[in-house]
Amino acid sequence: MYRVELTESYFPAQTDGEILDLTVGGLLRDIADIHADRLALVEVDDVGDTDRCWTYSELLVESERLAHVLARRFSPGERVVVWAPNIPEWVFMEYACGLAGLVLVTANPSFQAEELRYVLEQSGAVALFLVDEYRGNPMRRIAEAATAGNDAIREVVNLADLAKLYDPGNQDGTLPTVLPGDAAQIQYTSGTTGFPKGAVLSHKNLVNNARLYCERKQAGTHSVWANFMPLFHTAGCATGALGCLQAGARMLLIKRFDAMVFAKLIEEQGVTTCFAVPTMLFGLLETLEREPHDMSSLEVITTGGAPVPPELVRRVRDRLGCHLLSAFGQTEHSPMICLNPIEATEKQIVETAGQPLPHTEVSIRSPETNRVMPTGEVGEICARSYAVMIGYNDNPEATHAAIDDDGWLHTGDLGTMDREGFVRVTGRVKDMIIRGGENLFPAEIEAVLVEHPAVAQAAVVGLPDEKWGEVVAAFILAEDLPEVSELTNHCRKHLSPQKTPTIWVNVREFPLTGSGKVRKFAIRDKFLGGGYGEVLNGGKS
């Protein structure tokens, strides 16, 4: 824990820890050289049994083999989309792309055709690597629709088709020189317009942020890390996969979170650490009440993406016997900005997201004047460091709006900083919804809703929820009100399940600004205050 006494909401960069000029591929080679025979990656099936596994030397061999064949088919700097759940081939692609100088573009396996098409086209991707189906989502069929008419896509490859995946192609397969400042990934995130923006992250961004995050949470070669955070998100492929690599830890790769499976893995595999959003931890605790398991191996769990209830911190410490450390990050910062240290008090963990990581400046600034606020006063959380993204893909206007001329990343989140440098997140300048740790974009959902012939106007906001942090609520103006089931089915044809509203409210009018814009914060406050609109039957789950 840093001992500081601040008079204004500015935390200077602390210089403990190193910033290395290193690439993803270079890091893999270094770790494989040091920990050749240490178990690196273990595949876990749907019932919690272990399947395929690789040591660090085997992981390097597999990744280099794939990198050489990719280098024969693609040129350095080209973008390829990986659209799959948490499977070992995703990890191989992450390292192979790093070695071959390709830019890996992540995509959510729950995407529908319109969402996938947007990512493919906006990123300028030349290939799509996927699985045929996941959790009932017909991904192969969706991919056919999403790539129709896209002449830039040269390959659509099933990751399970090893003959095609490892097709050597016709070009020279020599691996190029990759530099730490080169783009490594494009991760799609939210924007005030509601259209996802592609944050371009460099090798240097990712590997250093993962290492400093691991050092703060004290992960090391002894660690057994359960990684069920989705690999399409920085929590899965950056702080997760690259974090395990930095630490020389054993990573248990899990397709999706299941509380019973997680409890079994902790007991049988000696899990020591993970990242889990509060919803997951509540699920684990409820499972343990029904069916106790041995939790003694757990050392530290990091959490974020939603407020951490005081009850959760106490229950984790009492029942799981480990540290629970809250964090704050943003994809545009690769992603971690702040994390509570092991020595943090219960009050600090509950009320704050911790102190900034090393080599990261954080300031709280007035959204109106950009001046640094006094300690304890609310403003926009801003960060400046080695981890700030290169920029938004093919979007200089949005990049300039997010990163000012002095290099400060404006996160769009509101917060305060106390005299000890602990940051508290209090709200968002943007109106995006964070449900279970995932960012959702109201404008995207609204655009689908108003396509229904009965909906005249729609406003989507996030409402607080104990389990999910926030849930999606749709406020609609409609002359002839359709059934909730009809509205839900309409959304599901175009949107992923988590984006579909679970609360439906019929209203007669929206609160407006003087210029006629809908005041979403007013909608939220009026509804929570009671008496605004009619909640439709079947409109909450």
Mean pLDDT, residues 133-153 taken together: 97
Instruction: For the chain, give the mean pLDDT.
Output: 93
- Residue 230: give its domain's CATH number: 3.40.50.12780
Tell me whether residue 117 is in a domain: no
- 496 is in which domain, residue-wise? 433-535
**pLDDT recorded at residue 190:** 54
- What are the pLDDT digits (tens) for 316-335? 999 999 999 999 999 999 99
| Angle, alpha carbons 388-392-397 (nearest 5°) | 110
* Position 53 in a domain: no
Distance of CA 117 to the CA centre of its chain: 20
Q: Please check whether residues 327 and 215 belong to one and the same domain.
A: yes
Asked whether residue 376 falls in the same domain as residue 448, the answer is: no
Q: Helix (H, G, I), strand (E, B), or coil: what is residue 297?
A: coil
Residue 113 domain-assigned (yes or no):
no
Per-residue confidence (pLDDT) for residue 462, from 0 to 100: 93
Rounded distance between C-alpha atoms, residue 445 and residue 432, angstroms: 11
Which class for 156: exposed (0-12), middle (13-18), buried (19 or more C-beta within 10 A)? middle
> Which CATH number belongs to the domain containing residue 525 in this structure?
3.30.300.30
Q: Which of 429, 457, 485 is the last residue of a domain?
A: 429
Which range, of 227-241, 359-373, 500-514, averages the lowest pLDDT? 500-514
Place of tokens 């890996």: 104
Assess whether 338 and 350 both reside in one domain.
yes
> What is the model's pLDDT at position 375?
98
Report how far residue 266's alpha carbon sits from residue 452's, in angstroms, rounded to the nearest whole number: 46
Same domain, 463 and 507: yes
Residue 121: inside a domain, yes or no? Answer: no
| Residues 493 and 463 occupy one common structural domain | yes
**Residue 27 has what pLDDT?**
98
> Among 226-230, 242-246, 451-455, which is the least confidently predicted range?
451-455
pLDDT confidence of residue 538:
60
Share of the chain above pLDDT 90, in %: 81
Task: Give the model's pLDDT for residue 191.
Answer: 42
| pLDDT over 50 (residue 192) | no
Q: State whether 341 and 460 are in the same domain.
A: no
| 376 in the same domain as 254 | yes
**Residue 387 in domain:** no
Q: Is the peptide bond before 396 cis (omega within 30 degrees of 0)?
A: no
Predicted confidence (pLDDT) at residue 97 exceeds the cutoff of 90:
yes
- Alpha carbon separation from 41 to 24, 50, 161, 273, 283 (Å, rounded): 16, 10, 21, 15, 25
Q: Has residue 497 been placed in a domain?
A: yes
Residue 115 contacts residue 164 (beta carbons within 8 Å): no
Give the angle 233-238-244 at the CA atoms, nearest 5°.
130
Is 50 exceeded by the pLDDT of residue 541? Answer: no
Alpha-carbon separation of residue 431 from 25, 196, 434 (angstroms)? 37, 14, 10
* Whether residue 347 sits in one domain with residue 239: yes
Residue 7 lies in a domain: yes
Average pLDDT over residues 508-533: 82
Say what the pTM is.
0.85
User: Do 465 and 415 belong together in one domain?
Assistant: no
Beta bridge partners, 325, equal 302
What pLDDT shows up at residue 442? 82
389-438 pLDDT tens trace: 999 999 999 999 999 999 999 999 888 999 999 999 877 776 778 898 88
Residue bearing the bigger pLDDT, 441 or 268? 268
Same domain, 415 and 458: no
Q: Determine the pLDDT at residue 373.
A: 97
Does residue 272 sit in the same domain as residue 349?
yes
Query: Of 373, 401, 429, which residue constitutes the final position of a domain?
Result: 429
Number of domains in the chain: 2
User: Are 470 and 416 found together in one domain?
Assistant: no
Final residue before a domain boundary, out of 369, 397, 429: 429
Residue 114: inside a domain, yes or no?
no
